[in-house]
Chains A and B, each alone.
Chain A
Amino acid sequence: MSVLTEKVMTRDWGKPGQPTLKGYKERGGYQQLKRVLDTLQPAQVTDEVKKSNLRGRGGAGFPTGLKWSFVPPLEKNNKPRYLAINADESEPGTAKDRYILELDPHLLLEGIAIACYALGAHACYIYSRGEFKFPSSVLDAAIAEAYADGVFGKKLMGKDFELNVYQVRGAGAYICGEETALLESLEGKKGWPRLKPPFPAVVGLFGCPTVVNNVETIASLPRIFEKGADWFSKLGAAKSGGTRLVTLSGSVLKPGTYEVSMDTSMRELIFDKEYGGGLPEGRSVKAVIPGGSSAPVLTADELEVKLEFDAFKPLHSMAGSGGVIVIDDATCIVRSIWRVARFYAEESCGQCTPCREGQPWMARLIRKIEEGRGELADLDTLMNVAQAIAPWPPIGLGNTICALGDAGALPVQSFVQKFRKEFEDHITRKGCPYGDKPWGAYGEFK
């Protein structure tokens, strides 16, 4: 069993006063920033981040140091630089960034300061999810404290480096988690993703070089500089440094948000006492969505996979945002994917035809099958529509401006390919085999 030898991200969660500057400083807070400012040049900071093998926790697992290095040097492009923090956390199944905001907001702020110093960015916008009333209030208080204490402002901890940090709250649009839609939203517009290239690192916010990083990614920085890039890198797997936050939900005894070692397997996460504690008596795993609802589904035979970014590739799925959704054997597969398809239909921004027309079409077809009105030809249509948006496998063949197209199309194809019989059963029986109890072990509201 691969246990977590030491807590990294969650080390101080829940300790007295941790969300306040005082509590944070009592446990060594802002010391890493101080040391970085005193002893390292910005380029050395980026080198350390590269060495640490830190990878983006927002969904794509992109190497963070590499992303930073795409920002052109000042000699080539002397526009202001920006850091944008993606705190839009809306991927179904994912609940981790909100806990960083609620329980350790200064860890994020210290990470932001380190990143801005490395990037030469004098302004950072934290784009937080509109519905996050409480997490946002904790973060606002922390930002105010950091200004009052002289961390932020004209002089970053006394150094001749101005840094301003602002929180901007979203207003209920999943698409704004996509990094270019996020930038559009920060510019005061509706969240329509941009065509890439150019990438944000070159043309981002207000046309300036911008790095967009997830909350958990940036909150990892203080630890990297506390214990060293080598330590962080060794803690993880071959090419993914550190530990990970995962949100375990659905049909397990102990749902919740856990910090895990990259070495932990999906089976351990679901069944170990430390984590999910297994399923209720008599129930077994039917399917697992491993990385937020846009990740292609796994079957009960695919649970040995490690929770490390690269391990999901052979299964044509992804570690994504760490949202693990467990579906038990008493749950209807068609109903499950209908909920997912409906979500993407609802959240498509409408810019590209395959996504705008295809996502609602898929949702309607799945619903038709679930309600017992489907025909076998509908399954073919469903697959054709999905393939027109983004064929699967493998991941990465999408035909649309942004990856929301793939996010809706891949799960559908994976569900139909891996659980085709259950779809066909609905069609031949002209109804849902689970009747009015489609939601499995915990589906009843009590």
Chain B
Amino acid sequence: MGEPFYDPAAMSEPLFTAEEQQRFDAGIAELLTHYPTDRKSAAMLPALRHLQSIKGWCPPEGMKQVAEKLETTVAHCYEVATFYVMFHTEKPGKYVIDVCTNLSCSLRGAEGLLGYLEQKLNTHAGTNGEKVFLRETECLASCGTAPCLQINEDHHENLTREKVDRLLEKLT
């Protein structure tokens, strides 16, 4: 017997409030209209994104509900959720900060930017903390406006120390 994909005990708590459940159901129903009726599981990426937009991550109980609605298995949800880096299968820090350190950005100071953030936030890239989860990421299509980063998917480019200081002040 291997490890179960999800922890049955964690599923005894209701995942959604009534309002969230309604939003979840309505969102999935709408997404399913975008696909042929015999291809419900094609909605996997948008469905997981929808789940994550409500809960901030993809909790096991949520993936179970996605699986039911898309008429597929929890293993399928898990396989997809772990393949794509934007899906969180563990609860991330309040602020996920992704810094591009690919070539064009590194030529414009990205390694220094990352070091500056590590020092100011007192963390190391790749460490998930309660408040921030600082990560190195790959090219974010801001190569001509480098260096750049994203905070919870909000994009910031042409960064300088001054700009970064201002961004960090807003993280409470």
Which residues of chain A have a CB within 8 Å of any CB of chain B?
Answer: 89-95, 97-98, 129-134, 164, 166, 168-174, 185-191, 206, 247-251, 255-257, 289, 293, 323, 325-327, 331, 335-336, 339-340, 343, 346-347, 439-440, 442-446
Contacts and interface: CB of A to CB of B under 8 A. Distances in A.
Contacts of B43: 188
Interface residues of B, number: 53
Nearest to B142: A95
A133 B85 contact: no
Contacts of A347: 138
A94 B155 contact: no
6 contacts: A91-B139, A133-B155, A168-B34, A169-B46, A171-B85, A189-B80
A187 B101 contact: no
A249 B49 CA distance: 32
Contacts of A445: 109-113, 115-116, 147, 159-161
A248 B143 CA distance: 8
Contact of A336 (B83, B85, B103): B103
A340 B103 contact: yes
Contact of B103 (A133, A172, A293): A293
A255 B111 CA distance: 19
Main secondary structure of the interface of A (DSSP, over half): mixed
A125 B68 CA distance: 24
Contacts of B142: 95
B82 to A, nearest CB: 8
A446 B143 contact: no
B74 interface: no
A284 to B, nearest CB: 15
B104 interface: yes
B117 to A, nearest CB: 10
B49 A171 contact: yes
B51 to A, nearest CB: 12
Contacts of B86: 130-131, 170-172
Contacts of A251: 107
A92 B45 contact: no
Contact of A255 (B72, B98, B143): B143
Nearest to B87: A171
A119 to B, nearest CB: 18
B79 A190 contact: yes
B84 A171 contact: yes
A168 B143 contact: no
Contact of A93 (B34, B101, B103, B116): B103
A311 B46 CA distance: 41
Nearest to A166: B34
Nearest to B101: A339
Contacts of A206: 36, 39, 42
A174 B139 CA distance: 9
Interface in B134-149: 138-147
Identify the 10 closest CB pairs spanning chains A and B, nearest first.
Answer: A445-B112, A188-B44, A171-B84, A445-B109, A190-B83, A249-B104, A172-B86, A249-B143, A172-B85, A92-B139
